[in-house]
């Protein structure tokens, strides 16, 4: 298991499981919850260990502002190894005078989401492309995402006792399990991004 947003030990404590009997099932629930959060938020909160390239059509991702144009990029977790190139025709040109934004993002455990070229345009043509080499993801998993992962993984784990979608008994009554836990949705709301391009 890799790139889960919390540990198996913390999940076991959260659900009150003191033995190793359900470790495999809990681990699967943890992985599933983490990837469901990625899908819900349209981003991932773990960081790459190595750099890789992504290419963007600038026409889909440019924001024009008075103090310089912005390129909207996927979450970048670090400035280490960050390289930005532009292609207007057949050749790539390295850009060095860009700024990363938000300011001090990585220092505050936030991702870089914009690249600004101060006082200038990124490209001559909207058909131009940007190639960004970076470590993608978040520098650290936000506390809200950890808590949402615990809630969602616990919910999935409890479904082993409610395969039909209800919990309870005849003495106290039954309760239908809803699709999205409102606490999970509330915790993740600030992190959901709109699709771009």
pLDDT along the chain (197 residues), means of 10: 89 94 95 95 95 90 85 95 90 91 94 88 72 97 97 91 57 55 93 74
**Token code pair at residue 1:** 């298991």
Q: Which is nearest to 100 in space by CA: 88, 85, 82? A: 82
- Exposure of 103 by Cβ count < 10 A (0-12 exposed, 13-18 middle, 19+ buried)? exposed
Interatomic CA distance for residues 87 and 65, integer angstroms:
21
- What confidence score (pLDDT) does residue 150 get? 97
- What confidence score (pLDDT) does residue 124 get? 62
CA atoms within 13 A on the CB side of 181: 17
**Is the CB of residue 178 less than 8 Å from the CB of residue 36?**
no
Q: Are strands 129-136 and 52-57 parallel, antiparallel or unpaired?
A: antiparallel
- What confidence score (pLDDT) does residue 164 get? 55
């Amino acid at each position: 298991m890799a790139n889960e947003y919390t540990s198996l030990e913390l999940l076991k404590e959260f659900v009150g499981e003191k033995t190793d009997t359900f470790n495999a099932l809990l681990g699967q629930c943890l992985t599933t919850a983490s990837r469901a959060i990625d899908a819900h938020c349209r981003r991932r909160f773990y960081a790459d260990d190595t750099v890789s390239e992504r290419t963007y059509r600038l026409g889909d991702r440019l924001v024009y502002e008075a103090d310089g144009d912005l390129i909207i990029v996927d979450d970048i977790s670090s400035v280490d190894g960050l390289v930005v190139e532009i292609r207007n025709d057949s050749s790539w040109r390295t850009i060095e005078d860009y700024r990363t934004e938000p300011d001090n993002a990585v220092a505050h455990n936030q991702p870089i989401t914009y690249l600004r070229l101060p006082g200038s345009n990124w490209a001559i043509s909207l058909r131009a492309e940007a190639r960004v080499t970076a470590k993608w993801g978040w520098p650290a998993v936000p506390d809200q995402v950890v808590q949402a992962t615990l809630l969602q993984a616990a919910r999935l784990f409890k479904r082993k006792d409610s395969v039909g979608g209800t919990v309870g008994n005849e003495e106290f009554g039954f309760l239908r399990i809803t699709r999205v836990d409102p606490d999970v949705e509330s915790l993740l709301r600030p992190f959901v991004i709109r699709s771009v391009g």
